[in-house]
Amino acid sequence: MDERLSPLEEQEHSLDPDDWAAFRARAHSMLDAALDHAEGVRDGAVWTPMPEDVKAALAEPVPMDAQGTDKVCEDLLARVLPYATGNTHPRFLGWVHGAGTPGGIIADTMAAAMNSNLGGRDHGAIYVERQVISWVKKLFDFPHTSSGLVVSGTSIATLIALTAARYAKAGYDVRRQGVRPEKGRLVGYTSSEAHSCIARTFDMLGLGLDALRSVPVDDVYRMDIVALRQAIRDDLEAGHRPFCVVGSPATVNTGAVDDLDAISRICQEHDLWFHVDGAFGAVAALSETLKPRFKGLERADSIALDFHKWMHVTYDAGIVLIRREDIHREAFTLRREYLTAAPRGLAAGNPWFCEYGPELSRGFRALKVWFHLKEHGIRRIAEKVEDNCRQAAYLGELVKARPELELSTPVSLNICCFRFAAPDLTDTALNLINEEIVIDLQESGVAAPSTTRLNGRLAIRVNITNHRSTMADFDLLVDEVVKLGRALVERV
Amino acid sequence: MDERLSPLEEQEHSLDPDDWAAFRARAHSMLDAALDHAEGVRDGAVWTPMPEDVKAALAEPVPMDAQGTDKVCEDLLARVLPYATGNTHPRFLGWVHGAGTPGGIIADTMAAAMNSNLGGRDHGAIYVERQVISWVKKLFDFPHTSSGLVVSGTSIATLIALTAARYAKAGYDVRRQGVRPEKGRLVGYTSSEAHSCIARTFDMLGLGLDALRSVPVDDVYRMDIVALRQAIRDDLEAGHRPFCVVGSPATVNTGAVDDLDAISRICQEHDLWFHVDGAFGAVAALSETLKPRFKGLERADSIALDFHKWMHVTYDAGIVLIRREDIHREAFTLRREYLTAAPRGLAAGNPWFCEYGPELSRGFRALKVWFHLKEHGIRRIAEKVEDNCRQAAYLGELVKARPELELSTPVSLNICCFRFAAPDLTDTALNLINEEIVIDLQESGVAAPSTTRLNGRLAIRVNITNHRSTMADFDLLVDEVVKLGRALVERV
């Protein structure tokens, strides 16, 4: 290792292109392919499964030798680009995926060129992230003294929020000592319809899945507030230590809106941390029309939400807000010698973002959020949220108007769950038929709803977090469901 | 909410551009700006602090109304792009940042256009990530039955690995019951030089910072194996439950290489989980020349490493590998009704990646890794690792040749810690002078090393994870350090 290369020899050895002009031309042609994909998104199938021969071609041995930019680009165009998830299509209506916007291409191009690491230090990207956090605090009526962190999504945001909650409410030094159930088991509450990331967080934090009490829901799937009070009382009597309640501004199954106001009052009474799992639902509160339904949200101790869902920032990006900055930082800070901040220079910029969450290296996902919010503005994003709610209501009406279809539960917000229900068929048969309808819709590329189970019955679940969907898409969907359902009944 | 817009009215309301041609032209001009930035990276200062008036311009009110693509692009060019972290510059030599490559711009452009969510389901991005995982397993001699997950970096990778370790070794159902110290406190071991993400993980997992035993290091900062054995014995005698040891193929402070082979044997003896914190160091094992120094790595139960450091993939991207796929999945899986996998259609593709880590929504960071490994090939990436080690050794020789400089510890791998040390000055004075030298280097834009403390003395820490650095950069660095040091001594 001691023979010395000349600087020139080494420079030739860098990973930068030998021929910048050729690289530039290729990058532009790839950008055109990306933009063609974005512009033509309405034309193709929602979802195109990857053929077996493409899968086989992908499964190449470890690339020990350089294949070069051109070859890799060609492979990308042939083997990857045609097989996207489909959520940019106007009739992607499954799960809760955002639809993205082409502006994200520009923002991510620039983020890749800058290659910033937002763990800390004093550079431009840090100020962009601070600005994004400051805007979101304002939007959700959080005090300017609160704190936040841009993360990959609600799962990590929840992990951060409940780590802070555990720290704030444990009653002993949980950071040093770990979880100590003998001092009173830390228990929390959320509805039986809550997202699984809450349970996963209880598991990871060492509290245990059993420590998350599953509060029953009412007939429209909202947390039963009387049952919540009772559960807290029971735990207190049993000597446990209730420490948090997690409310949902919209459950993922049915779009049910928990009574956040009532939950926040209960939290205040019992000194519990009030966390809001706002993954997509919190975004609805950006609409002045819808905002009254989310009263209480502004009193949360922490909110987790996604930018990549109902705000349509490209994947992945979310945020956590925490009302008390001191608690947030104290729950995470750990700095070593090699991370010492300096009063000036690149190592300034205190406090560093790595003191507010688990990640030390942090990419510049704040840039696409900043870009997107400025490009489209909050009002326009909120209008699209309202459009989606209007579309869900419209779909509900279409379902009611068809004798072969039935609503599985009243439409709430942007989610409509329904099923094909021919008379004289058992639920078991209908479950199979409805599952088959959904798979057929996906495989034909016509639409991509998902499924769920409500009261043991399989429902076609249409979640509309899509700024490209139009009313006509739902006319088409309903026609197809009925057509497929009838055909399947005939086959049975 | 019941008035119906015509499909046309709604389509006009989507967040897509009204004028695609204009948008396309703007995207191309932004790509040129990104490529100019990448191509010109050697010319400018390493780091340009953001001026106060730019900070003030960034701090605009919440963008309620759309500003449009052009305005946002202009703001990005004026207020953000010039103020990058600096780690793409050949004389960025601080902390452990990768230098990125322009190929990442192409990959991220396409990932943004596809907007894939890799939580699960059956689509192209999933197969790309599986391929990346398969390659990395092969590169680290992990069995093909092992599992992995592409994540934002080593911090999250460590969280996943140690969650699996806790699950595997607790001796009770830690997922359901949470951490139960009365059944024997779970304790782990790592060296006093280990990265703070290990401690943070112990904290988050509810084990407590105190449960991570800090094993002393030898005179070149490697974990003291005798002390490790003693610590395990002490804990067993005290009734605790040792469950894991974390070894470092390269410590962040000094690049010290733990004796992974010895650690792995101790783990086998005591049935402990052997985790390797490979953040940047594991990448050195890709070099056939360096590989023998990392013997034992291939016997780890889990490895965490970053693609965005010594492999130069753009931020952020890392991976966790776990030898036992069943344990990995059992430690995380939690699926609800709305995530049920189907035998066919878009909801197929089992198992889903969301069963292997905390994130349910997952961006397509695997694409840039796939692109990068194919574009440059493992051998070329490993050559750059060897170059960096050669450069660190060369810098060490330069330091030894200068009477005013002293090595703080022998050079190990790619890290050289040294200081300016004029005679007759106290350590306190030298600490101030060396800190000032580093700040001056950063503020002048000449170079960006960082600092650390070794034996209580402040050292200039040069970490070389940079494929653009050349030998001449270190000649220049040493000249500047001596010049600045002399000037500061005169001022004292």
Residue of B nearest to A17 (CA): B102
- Three-state secondary-structure class, residue B219: coil
Q: What is the mean pLDDT of residues B273-300?
A: 96
Are the beta carbons of A178 and B199 separated by less than 8 Å?
A: no
pLDDT band for position A1 (cuts 50, 70, 90): very low
Q: In this predicted structure, what is the pLDDT of residue B267?
A: 98
Please, which residues 250-279 of chain B have a Cβ atom closer than 8 Å to chain A?
Answer: 252-253
DSSP A247: E
Please, which residues 324-343 of chain B have a Cβ atom closer than 8 Å to chain A?
Answer: 332, 334-340, 342
CB-nearest partner of B207 from A100, A178, A207: A178
Residue-wise pLDDT for A398-448, tens only, equals: 999 999 999 999 999 999 999 999 888 999 999 999 999 999 999 999 999
φ/ψ of residue A240, rounded to 5: -80, 175
A-B C-beta contacts closer than 8 Å: 620
Task: Kindly tell me if the per-residue pLDDT of B160 is higher than 70.
Answer: yes
Measured CA to CA, the distance from residue A420 to residue A403 in angstroms comes to 9
Task: Kindly tell me if the per-residue pLDDT of B11 is higher than 60.
Answer: no
Residue pair A97/A153 in contact by the 8 Å Cβ criterion: no
Residue-wise pLDDT for A220-241, tens only, equals: 999 999 999 999 999 999 999 9
Q: How many CB atoms lie within 10 A of CB A210?
A: 16
- Three-state secondary-structure class, residue A142: coil
Task: Kindly tell me if the per-residue pLDDT of A475 is higher than 60.
Answer: yes
Q: In this predicted structure, what is the pLDDT of residue B2?
A: 42
Measured CA to CA, the distance from residue A308 to residue A315 in angstroms comes to 5
Q: In this predicted structure, what is the pLDDT of residue B6?
A: 54
Q: Of the ranges A331-335, B205-209, B435-439, B453-457, which one carries the lowest mean pLDDT score? A: A331-335
Residue pair A123/B85 in contact by the 8 Å Cβ criterion: yes
Are the beta carbons of A468 and B13 separated by less than 8 Å?
A: no
Question: A19, A42, A7, A9: which is closest to A445 by C-alpha?
Answer: A42
Give me chain A's average pLDDT, please: 94
Q: In this predicted structure, what is the pLDDT of residue B172?
A: 97
What is the total residue count of chain A? 492
DSSP alpha helix (H) spans, B306-461: 325-330, 365-401, 427-444
Are the beta carbons of B471 and A62 separated by less than 8 Å?
A: no
DSSP B409: S
Question: A331, A287, A74, A115: which is closest to B80 by C-alpha?
Answer: A115
**B4 or A326, higher pLDDT:** A326
Find which of B77, B114, B134, B192 to mutate to test the A interface (most A CBs within 10 Å of its CB): B114
Task: Kindly tell me if the per-residue pLDDT of A349 is higher than 90.
Answer: no
Q: What is the pairing mode between strands B241-247 and B186-191?
A: parallel
Q: In this predicted structure, what is the pLDDT of residue A189?
A: 98
Residue-wise pLDDT for B202-252, tens only, equals: 999 999 999 999 999 999 999 999 999 999 999 999 999 999 999 999 999
Question: How many CA atoms are closer than 13 Å to the CA of B453, on its beta-carbon side?
Answer: 13
- Three-state secondary-structure class, residue B302: strand
As given in the structure block, the two tokens for residue B65 are 């109304």
Are the beta carbons of A110 and B34 separated by less than 8 Å?
A: yes
Q: In this predicted structure, what is the pLDDT of residue A23?
A: 98
Q: Is the minimum CB–CB distance between B404 and chain A shorter than 8 Å?
A: no
Q: Is the minimum CB–CB distance between B183 and chain A shorter than 8 Å?
A: no
pLDDT band for position B13 (cuts 50, 70, 90): confident
Q: How far is B282 from chain A (nearest CA, A)?
A: 17
Residue of A nearest to B172 (CA): A208
Residue-wise pLDDT for B26-45, tens only, equals: 999 999 999 999 999 988 89
pLDDT band for position A383 (cuts 50, 70, 90): very high
Q: In this predicted structure, what is the pLDDT of residue B1?
A: 38
Find which of B85, B91, B169 to mutate to test the A interface (most A CBs within 10 Å of its CB): B85
Task: Kindly tell me if the per-residue pLDDT of B4 is higher than 60.
Answer: no
Measured CA to CA, the distance from residue A99 to residue B42 in angstroms comes to 38
Residue B407: which H helix or E strand, with range? strand B405-407
Q: Is the dihedral of CA B351, B352, B353, B359 positive or negative?
A: negative
Which residue is associated with the tokens 């396309």?
Answer: B24
Q: How far is B113 from chain A (nearest CA, A)?
A: 5
Task: Kindly tell me if the per-residue pLDDT of A305 is higher than 80.
Answer: yes
Measured CA to CA, the distance from residue A395 to residue B322 in angstroms comes to 45
Residue of A nearest to B199 (CA): A334
Q: Is the minimum CB–CB distance between A174 and chain B shorter than 8 Å?
A: yes
Residue pair B464/B92 in contact by the 8 Å Cβ criterion: no
Question: B238, B314, B321, B217: which is closest to B278 by C-alpha?
Answer: B321
Residue-wise pLDDT for B329-350, tens only, equals: 999 998 666 666 777 888 888 8
Q: Of the ranges A21-35, A329-343, B462-476, which one carries the lowest mean pLDDT score? A: A329-343
Are the beta carbons of B7 and A472 separated by less than 8 Å?
A: yes
Chain B residues touching residue A10 (CB < 8 angstroms): 387, 469-471
Q: Output the pTM of the full model.
A: 0.96
Q: In this predicted structure, what is the pLDDT of residue A89?
A: 96
Q: In this predicted structure, what is the pLDDT of residue A13?
A: 80
Task: Kindly tell me if the per-residue pLDDT of A7 is higher than 60.
Answer: no
Find which of A8, A106, A166 to mutate to test the B interface (most B CBs within 10 Å of its CB): A106
